[in-house]
Amino acid sequence: MGRAPCCDKANVKKGPWSPEEDATLKAYIEEYGTGGNWIALPQKIGLKRCGKSCRLRWLNYLRPNIKHGGFSEEEDNIICNLYISIGSRWSIIAAQLPGRTDNDIKNYWNTRLKKKLLGRRKQSANNGLASSGQDPNDNGGDDSHSQGLSSSALERLQLHMQLQSLQNPLSFYNNPALWPKLHPFQEKMIQSLQSLNGMHNINNPVMQNVLPGQSTAPPLKSPQDYNPQINDSIPINTNNNFMDTNPVPKVNGVNIDQSNVTTQPASTFQAELESFLNNKGVGFTAQEDQLPQFEYLNTMNGSKDNLLWWANEFDSKSASSNSWDSTPVLQSEGMFQDFELGYNL
DNA sequence: AATTCAAACAACCGCTCCAAT
DNA sequence: GATTGGAGCGGTTGTTTGAAT
């Protein structure tokens, strides 16, 4: 049995709100409040609108002290930090930005901020693939190659790695002492990424050193050489914050870290890292003829569908919260733990 | 000046959550 | 414990606006 609709779809007006409708709604709510029942509200005041539409109009536009546009650099930073930390939980992000609505932030992110952050990738991809004649924006016209991990998850991972390495080459990804123990399958997954890494002829320390003791790259110095605060006895930070020892503030139980990290000079391999990242989800976009690179597939019933299984498993476990912050799976799997980092854009 | 295209924004849709019954 | 229905949320779509040709 399906749910009853919240309103009579045939008798409600859709589309842009007129100034008269705005005035009616605003006047009523300012005087009487919503009465705790949005569904009944439009009928009370004679608006032929769905209650949900009234609520949205009030929250996103008519409510006092709403700011539109003109996002500051500081707001950009906060949005980026929180997006990487908690994903597309726009309401929580909006709660950190007085006067901003979740819808506004969501639109801003999707239309501008994301491009601002990832713009370099596109440009770099154009450079890198120019000689191959391949359109960097064209993955063969088949997005199924990037199936598995959700675009949001990939995007956040890429953003995180890119920003983290660009700003702090001594970060988590470059520091074996900080790596959590991975599930054997995850290790294999990363091995395959290493394989692809070699295939793309990218001498990328991030990937080369993902597996301690298995890297072909020169051994890293001791952790202390990278960060005097780190020693072998330091456990993995359960706050997942390797940059800042301050407590992580929480909103609705979600860790929020808005601290900024001092920007450090980009190291020489950053261009290579970007190049790696430019191939969005390179490990998950293997063409048919590249699949043998995933040797572990042979050990898992010989099916390349297992790659999809892994990705789906990952996604489905995250899906319950519709976000990457599904802490139980992330913490237990331990793969992408440090999402509480701050950035300066 | 007309047309095309992309960016920006507003609004809708469908889903989940949760309190009330 | 099961059901119901409103609130809230995030993804998506539709419309408007402005730049480029």
Task: Give A206-216 pLDDT, tens digit per residue.
Answer: 333 333 333 33
A180 contact partners, CB below 8 Å, separation of at least 6: A236, A334, A335, A337
How far: A61 CA to B7 C1' (Å)?
21
- Of A68-72, A93-97, A148-152, give the lowest mean pLDDT range: A148-152
- Most confident by average pLDDT, A75-79, A178-182, A185-189: A75-79
Q: Which bases along strand B come within 7 Å of a protein CB atom? A: 7-14, 16-17
pLDDT band at A6, cuts 50/70/90?
low
How far: A187 CA to B13 C1' (Å)?
40
The reported pLDDT for the residue numbered A161 is 63
Q: Is the CB of A103 less than 7 A from some atom of nucleic acid strand B?
A: yes
The reported pLDDT for the residue numbered A88 is 80
Span A301-305, average pLDDT: 35
The reported pLDDT for the residue numbered A77 is 84
Does residue A14 register a pLDDT over 80?
yes
If phi > 0 it is left, if psi is from -120 to 50 it is alpha, else beta; for residue A43 that is alpha
Span A94-123, average pLDDT: 76
Nucleotide B8, nearest residue via CA and C1' = A111
The reported pLDDT for the residue numbered A13 is 83
Helix A305-319 and helix A151-167: axis angle, to 10°? 90
A116-151 per-position pLDDT tens digit: 776 544 444 444 433 333 333 333 333 333 334 445
The reported pLDDT for the residue numbered A163 is 60
How far: A66 CA to B5 C1' (Å)?
31
Name which residue leads in pLDDT, A131 or A195.
A195
Distance of CA A92 to the CA centre of its chain: 14
Map out the domains of chain A as residue ranges: 11-62, 73-132+143-333
Q: Spell out which residues of A between 30 and 89 contact strand C, using CB within 7 Å.
A: 34, 36-39, 51-52, 55-56, 88-89
A314 contact partners, CB below 8 Å, separation of at least 6: A148, A149, A153, A329, A333
The reported pLDDT for the residue numbered A158 is 65
How far: A113 CA to B11 C1' (Å)?
21
The reported pLDDT for the residue numbered A25 is 87
The reported pLDDT for the residue numbered A98 is 82
Q: Spell out which residues of A between 9 and 68 contact strand B, using CB within 7 Å.
A: 9, 13-17, 49-50, 52-53, 56-57, 60-61, 68
Query: Phi and psi of A250, rounded to 5°?
Result: -125, 145
Nucleotide B17, nearest residue via CA and C1' = A321
pLDDT band at A115, cuts 50/70/90?
confident
- Of A89-93, A250-254, A332-336, give the lowest mean pLDDT range: A332-336
User: What homologous superfamily does CATH list for A11-62?
Assistant: Homeodomain-like (1.10.10.60)
The reported pLDDT for the residue numbered A33 is 82
Percent of chain A exceeding pLDDT 70 equals 32
Residues A39 and A296: their CA atoms lie apart, in Å, by 54
A22-45 per-position pLDDT tens digit: 888 888 888 888 777 888 888 888
pLDDT band at A180, cuts 50/70/90?
very low
The reported pLDDT for the residue numbered A54 is 87
Nearest residue to A53 via CA among A7, A107, A101: A7
pLDDT band at A4, cuts 50/70/90?
low
Two structure tokens written together for A92: 């929580």
A235 contact partners, CB below 8 Å, separation of at least 6: none
Q: Mean pLDDT in chain A?
A: 53
A227-281 per-position pLDDT tens digit: 333 333 323 233 333 233 333 344 433 444 444 333 333 333 334 333 433 433 3
